[in-house]
Amino acid sequence: MRDNKQWDVAWAQIAALRNNIPSEINEVRVNEYHSILDAFQLASDSAANLHSFRVSASEMKPKVTSFRKGTRRLPPITRYSKEKYCKREYFVRQVEGAWSCLSQFQANGLDVRAMSGQMDYWAMPDRELEKLALKYHIPSVARTGPNLEHWYVDRVRIIDELVRRDTALRAGNAPPVPTNVLNIDTIIGSNVQQGTSHSTIVMDFKANAAEIRALMEKVRDSMQEMYLSPAAKEELTADTATIEIQLSSTNPKPSVITECLRSMRTILENAVGGAIGTGLAYEIAKHLQ
Protein backbone atom coordinates (compact mmCIF):
# COMPACT_ATOMS: atom_id res chain seq x y z
CA MET A 1 0.00 0.00 0.00
CA ARG A 2 1.31 3.43 -0.90
CA ASP A 3 1.70 6.33 1.56
CA ASN A 4 0.56 9.12 -0.76
CA LYS A 5 1.79 11.95 1.47
CA GLN A 6 5.33 10.58 1.70
CA TRP A 7 5.25 9.69 -1.98
CA ASP A 8 4.31 13.28 -2.92
CA VAL A 9 7.18 14.70 -0.83
CA ALA A 10 9.68 12.36 -2.50
CA TRP A 11 8.20 13.22 -5.89
CA ALA A 12 8.73 16.94 -5.28
CA GLN A 13 12.31 16.28 -4.16
CA ILE A 14 13.31 14.25 -7.22
CA ALA A 15 11.62 16.80 -9.52
CA ALA A 16 13.64 19.59 -7.91
CA LEU A 17 16.87 17.58 -8.18
CA ARG A 18 16.19 16.69 -11.82
CA ASN A 19 15.72 20.36 -12.75
CA ASN A 20 18.76 21.62 -10.82
CA ILE A 21 21.57 19.12 -11.37
CA PRO A 22 24.90 20.85 -10.61
CA SER A 23 27.98 20.68 -12.79
CA GLU A 24 29.87 18.58 -10.22
CA ILE A 25 28.35 15.54 -8.54
CA ASN A 26 29.98 14.88 -5.18
CA GLU A 27 29.17 12.39 -2.44
CA VAL A 28 26.76 14.78 -0.73
CA ARG A 29 24.68 15.08 -3.91
CA VAL A 30 24.71 11.31 -4.48
CA ASN A 31 23.63 10.65 -0.89
CA GLU A 32 20.81 13.18 -1.31
CA TYR A 33 19.66 11.36 -4.44
CA HIS A 34 19.83 7.95 -2.74
CA SER A 35 17.81 9.26 0.21
CA ILE A 36 15.08 10.27 -2.25
CA LEU A 37 15.03 6.77 -3.72
CA ASP A 38 14.86 5.37 -0.17
CA ALA A 39 11.89 7.65 0.51
CA PHE A 40 10.07 6.18 -2.47
CA GLN A 41 10.84 2.71 -1.15
CA LEU A 42 9.34 3.54 2.22
CA ALA A 43 6.34 5.26 0.66
CA SER A 44 5.54 2.32 -1.61
CA ASP A 45 6.53 -0.48 0.79
CA SER A 46 8.65 -1.99 -1.99
CA ALA A 47 10.88 -0.24 -4.50
CA ALA A 48 13.28 -3.00 -5.52
CA ASN A 49 13.07 -1.96 -9.17
CA LEU A 50 14.65 1.41 -8.30
CA HIS A 51 17.92 -0.25 -7.31
CA SER A 52 19.13 -0.06 -10.93
CA PHE A 53 19.06 3.74 -10.71
CA ARG A 54 21.35 4.10 -7.70
CA VAL A 55 24.84 5.44 -8.33
CA SER A 56 27.29 2.55 -8.35
CA ALA A 57 30.20 2.80 -5.91
CA SER A 58 32.57 2.05 -8.79
CA GLU A 59 31.50 5.32 -10.45
CA MET A 60 32.60 7.40 -7.46
CA LYS A 61 36.24 8.49 -7.77
CA PRO A 62 38.50 11.29 -6.49
CA LYS A 63 39.15 14.09 -8.96
CA VAL A 64 42.46 15.68 -9.85
CA THR A 65 43.00 18.89 -7.85
CA SER A 66 46.48 19.78 -9.08
CA PHE A 67 49.19 18.51 -11.39
CA ARG A 68 52.86 19.33 -11.68
CA LYS A 69 54.89 18.29 -14.66
CA GLY A 70 58.03 16.32 -14.05
CA THR A 71 61.50 17.77 -14.54
CA ARG A 72 64.92 16.20 -14.82
CA ARG A 73 65.25 16.26 -11.06
CA LEU A 74 61.67 15.94 -9.85
CA PRO A 75 59.00 13.40 -10.83
CA PRO A 76 55.52 14.56 -11.87
CA ILE A 77 53.03 14.95 -9.04
CA THR A 78 49.27 14.54 -9.27
CA ARG A 79 47.13 15.42 -6.27
CA TYR A 80 43.58 14.12 -5.81
CA SER A 81 40.64 15.28 -3.75
CA LYS A 82 39.65 13.44 -0.56
CA GLU A 83 36.02 13.61 -1.65
CA LYS A 84 34.77 11.37 -4.43
CA TYR A 85 32.79 12.43 -7.50
CA CYS A 86 30.91 10.76 -10.34
CA LYS A 87 30.57 11.92 -13.92
CA ARG A 88 27.65 14.29 -14.45
CA GLU A 89 26.49 12.49 -17.63
CA TYR A 90 26.20 9.21 -15.72
CA PHE A 91 24.36 10.86 -12.83
CA VAL A 92 21.91 12.54 -15.22
CA ARG A 93 21.16 9.20 -16.88
CA GLN A 94 20.48 7.55 -13.51
CA VAL A 95 18.16 10.36 -12.40
CA GLU A 96 16.34 10.38 -15.75
CA GLY A 97 15.93 6.62 -15.58
CA ALA A 98 14.42 6.79 -12.10
CA TRP A 99 12.19 9.69 -13.19
CA SER A 100 10.92 7.77 -16.23
CA CYS A 101 10.21 4.66 -14.17
CA LEU A 102 8.47 6.57 -11.38
CA SER A 103 6.46 8.59 -13.90
CA GLN A 104 4.83 5.37 -15.06
CA PHE A 105 3.70 4.61 -11.53
CA GLN A 106 2.60 8.20 -10.96
CA ALA A 107 0.56 8.34 -14.15
CA ASN A 108 -1.16 5.03 -13.52
CA GLY A 109 -1.54 5.40 -9.75
CA LEU A 110 0.47 2.20 -9.28
CA ASP A 111 2.64 1.02 -6.44
CA VAL A 112 6.22 0.27 -7.44
CA ARG A 113 5.68 -3.40 -6.68
CA ALA A 114 2.85 -3.50 -9.24
CA MET A 115 5.55 -3.87 -11.87
CA SER A 116 6.85 -7.09 -10.35
CA GLY A 117 4.56 -9.24 -12.47
CA GLN A 118 5.84 -7.92 -15.80
CA MET A 119 9.20 -8.04 -17.50
CA ASP A 120 11.88 -6.08 -15.67
CA TYR A 121 13.42 -4.18 -18.57
CA TRP A 122 15.75 -2.26 -16.25
CA ALA A 123 17.48 -5.52 -15.31
CA MET A 124 18.31 -6.24 -18.97
CA PRO A 125 21.80 -5.50 -20.32
CA ASP A 126 22.14 -2.90 -23.07
CA ARG A 127 22.63 -5.53 -25.75
CA GLU A 128 19.29 -7.23 -25.01
CA LEU A 129 17.49 -3.89 -24.93
CA GLU A 130 19.01 -3.00 -28.30
CA LYS A 131 17.66 -6.25 -29.74
CA LEU A 132 14.15 -5.41 -28.52
CA ALA A 133 14.50 -1.86 -29.83
CA LEU A 134 15.50 -3.20 -33.24
CA LYS A 135 12.63 -5.70 -33.20
CA TYR A 136 10.02 -3.01 -32.45
CA HIS A 137 11.66 -0.20 -34.48
CA ILE A 138 12.54 1.95 -31.45
CA PRO A 139 15.43 4.44 -31.86
CA SER A 140 18.04 3.01 -29.52
CA VAL A 141 21.03 5.34 -29.37
CA ALA A 142 21.72 8.89 -28.25
CA ARG A 143 24.72 11.14 -27.78
CA THR A 144 26.18 12.98 -24.82
CA GLY A 145 29.25 15.00 -23.89
CA PRO A 146 30.23 18.65 -24.41
CA ASN A 147 30.56 18.07 -28.16
CA LEU A 148 28.09 15.17 -28.40
CA GLU A 149 31.09 12.92 -28.91
CA HIS A 150 29.89 9.93 -26.87
CA TRP A 151 27.34 7.39 -28.09
CA TYR A 152 25.31 5.38 -25.61
CA VAL A 153 22.30 3.06 -25.60
CA ASP A 154 19.35 5.25 -24.53
CA ARG A 155 17.82 2.89 -21.98
CA VAL A 156 15.25 5.46 -20.82
CA ARG A 157 13.80 5.96 -24.30
CA ILE A 158 13.80 2.23 -25.14
CA ILE A 159 12.18 1.18 -21.87
CA ASP A 160 9.61 3.99 -22.05
CA GLU A 161 8.53 2.77 -25.50
CA LEU A 162 8.49 -0.89 -24.38
CA VAL A 163 6.33 -0.08 -21.34
CA ARG A 164 3.92 1.92 -23.52
CA ARG A 165 3.73 -1.05 -25.87
CA ASP A 166 3.07 -3.51 -23.01
CA THR A 167 0.39 -1.24 -21.54
CA ALA A 168 -1.42 -1.03 -24.89
CA LEU A 169 -1.30 -4.79 -25.41
CA ARG A 170 -2.63 -5.51 -21.90
CA ALA A 171 -5.53 -3.15 -22.62
CA GLY A 172 -6.26 -5.03 -25.84
CA ASN A 173 -5.16 -2.14 -28.06
CA ALA A 174 -2.77 -2.07 -30.95
CA PRO A 175 0.79 -1.28 -29.82
CA PRO A 176 1.91 2.30 -30.50
CA VAL A 177 4.30 2.82 -33.40
CA PRO A 178 7.25 4.94 -32.21
CA THR A 179 8.73 5.45 -35.67
CA ASN A 180 7.93 5.16 -39.37
CA VAL A 181 10.30 2.60 -40.87
CA LEU A 182 10.90 3.06 -44.60
CA ASN A 183 12.96 0.66 -46.70
CA ILE A 184 13.57 2.51 -49.95
CA ASP A 185 15.68 1.07 -52.77
CA THR A 186 15.63 4.16 -54.99
CA ILE A 187 14.67 7.72 -54.18
CA ILE A 188 14.97 10.91 -56.18
CA GLY A 189 14.98 14.35 -54.59
CA SER A 190 14.24 13.83 -50.90
CA ASN A 191 13.22 11.43 -48.19
CA VAL A 192 9.59 10.55 -47.53
CA GLN A 193 7.99 10.89 -44.12
CA GLN A 194 4.51 9.90 -43.02
CA GLY A 195 2.64 10.89 -39.86
CA THR A 196 5.16 13.63 -39.07
CA SER A 197 3.77 14.62 -35.66
CA HIS A 198 6.59 13.78 -33.20
CA SER A 199 7.85 11.04 -35.50
CA THR A 200 11.29 9.90 -36.60
CA ILE A 201 12.47 8.69 -40.00
CA VAL A 202 14.47 5.48 -39.98
CA MET A 203 16.03 5.12 -43.42
CA ASP A 204 17.77 2.24 -45.16
CA PHE A 205 20.98 4.00 -46.17
CA LYS A 206 22.35 0.98 -48.03
CA ALA A 207 20.63 2.08 -51.24
CA ASN A 208 22.68 5.29 -51.25
CA ALA A 209 25.83 3.85 -49.65
CA ALA A 210 28.14 4.68 -52.59
CA GLU A 211 26.86 8.26 -52.75
CA ILE A 212 27.26 8.77 -49.00
CA ARG A 213 30.77 7.29 -49.01
CA ALA A 214 31.75 9.69 -51.80
CA LEU A 215 30.32 12.56 -49.77
CA MET A 216 32.34 11.49 -46.70
CA GLU A 217 35.50 11.49 -48.84
CA LYS A 218 34.65 14.96 -50.11
CA VAL A 219 34.21 16.23 -46.55
CA ARG A 220 37.59 14.82 -45.52
CA ASP A 221 39.32 16.37 -48.54
CA SER A 222 37.79 19.78 -47.79
CA MET A 223 38.54 20.01 -44.06
CA GLN A 224 41.78 21.98 -44.44
CA GLU A 225 40.01 24.63 -46.51
CA MET A 226 37.20 25.38 -44.07
CA TYR A 227 38.98 26.96 -41.07
CA LEU A 228 37.49 24.56 -38.56
CA SER A 229 38.35 24.66 -34.87
CA PRO A 230 40.35 21.66 -33.60
CA ALA A 231 37.28 20.38 -31.72
CA ALA A 232 35.03 20.75 -34.79
CA LYS A 233 37.60 19.02 -37.00
CA GLU A 234 37.90 16.15 -34.52
CA GLU A 235 34.13 15.79 -34.33
CA LEU A 236 33.77 15.89 -38.11
CA THR A 237 36.47 13.23 -38.50
CA ALA A 238 34.75 11.02 -35.92
CA ASP A 239 31.37 11.41 -37.62
CA THR A 240 32.70 10.51 -41.08
CA ALA A 241 34.50 7.46 -39.69
CA THR A 242 31.39 6.34 -37.81
CA ILE A 243 29.23 6.60 -40.92
CA GLU A 244 31.71 4.61 -43.01
CA ILE A 245 31.90 1.89 -40.35
CA GLN A 246 28.10 1.71 -40.23
CA LEU A 247 27.82 1.49 -44.02
CA SER A 248 30.35 -1.37 -44.02
CA SER A 249 28.40 -3.27 -41.37
CA THR A 250 26.07 -6.13 -42.27
CA ASN A 251 23.50 -4.54 -39.98
CA PRO A 252 23.99 -0.74 -40.09
CA LYS A 253 22.06 1.38 -37.59
CA PRO A 254 20.11 4.08 -39.45
CA SER A 255 19.66 6.10 -36.26
CA VAL A 256 23.45 6.32 -35.77
CA ILE A 257 24.02 7.40 -39.39
CA THR A 258 21.24 9.98 -39.14
CA GLU A 259 22.64 11.51 -35.93
CA CYS A 260 26.13 11.69 -37.46
CA LEU A 261 24.82 13.40 -40.60
CA ARG A 262 22.94 15.93 -38.47
CA SER A 263 26.07 16.62 -36.45
CA MET A 264 28.13 17.09 -39.63
CA ARG A 265 25.57 19.43 -41.14
CA THR A 266 25.63 21.64 -38.03
CA ILE A 267 29.44 21.80 -38.00
CA LEU A 268 29.65 22.60 -41.72
CA GLU A 269 26.96 25.27 -41.56
CA ASN A 270 28.99 27.06 -38.88
CA ALA A 271 32.37 26.66 -40.56
CA VAL A 272 34.27 29.90 -41.08
CA GLY A 273 34.81 30.72 -44.70
CA GLY A 274 31.34 29.89 -45.93
CA ALA A 275 30.94 28.48 -49.42
CA ILE A 276 32.60 25.06 -49.12
CA GLY A 277 30.96 24.22 -45.81
CA THR A 278 27.58 25.51 -46.97
CA GLY A 279 27.75 23.40 -50.12
CA LEU A 280 28.65 20.24 -48.23
CA ALA A 281 25.97 20.95 -45.62
CA TYR A 282 23.44 21.21 -48.45
CA GLU A 283 24.51 17.84 -49.85
CA ILE A 284 24.22 16.24 -46.42
CA ALA A 285 20.79 17.83 -45.90
CA LYS A 286 19.50 15.97 -48.95
CA HIS A 287 19.93 12.71 -47.03
CA LEU A 288 18.04 14.08 -44.02
CA GLN A 289 14.96 15.67 -45.62
pLDDT in tens, 120-134: 677 777 777 777 776
Q: Domain for residue 124, yes or no?
A: no
Q: Domain for residue 237, yes or no?
A: yes
Q: What is the mean pLDDT of residues 209-236?
A: 83
Q: Do 173 and 220 share a structural domain?
A: no
Q: Do 266 and 194 share a structural domain?
A: yes
Q: Domain for residue 121, yes or no?
A: no
Q: Domain for residue 120, yes or no?
A: no
- How many Å apart are CA 255 and CA 8, to the nearest integer? 37
Confidence of residue 28 (pLDDT cuts 50, 70, 90): very high
Q: Which phi and psi (to 5°) does residue 266 adopt?
A: -60, -45
Looking at every residue in the chain, the average pLDDT score rounds to 75
Q: Domain for residue 168, yes or no?
A: yes
Q: Do 144 and 241 share a structural domain?
A: no
pTM: 0.41
In this structure, what is the dihedral angle of CA atoms 263, 264, 269, 274, given to the nearest 10 degrees? 160
- Reply yes or no on whether the pLDDT at 85 is more than 90: yes
Residue 151 has what pLDDT? 61
Q: Do 91 and 29 share a structural domain?
A: yes
The two beta strands, 150-153 and 141-144, are antiparallel
The two beta strands, 180-182 and 201-203, are parallel
The two beta strands, 180-182 and 150-153, are unpaired
Q: Do 5 and 102 share a structural domain?
A: yes
Domain tally for the chain?
A: 3
Q: Which phi and psi (to 5°) does residue 186 adopt?
A: -140, 135
More confident position, 13 or 233: 13
For 25, the domain range is: 1-64+78-114
Q: Domain for residue 69, yes or no?
A: no
Look at residue 270 and give its three-state secondary structure: coil
Contacts of 104 (CB under 8 A, 6+ apart): 110, 115, 163
Residue 189 has what pLDDT? 42
Q: Which phi and psi (to 5°) does residue 6 adopt?
A: -70, -35
Residue 197 has what pLDDT? 38
Q: Do 207 and 165 share a structural domain?
A: no
Q: Do 51 and 143 share a structural domain?
A: no
Q: Domain for residue 170, yes or no?
A: yes
Q: Domain for residue 72, yes or no?
A: no
Residue 208 has what pLDDT? 78
Residue 198 has what pLDDT? 39
Q: Do 247 and 172 share a structural domain?
A: no
More confident position, 156 or 87: 87
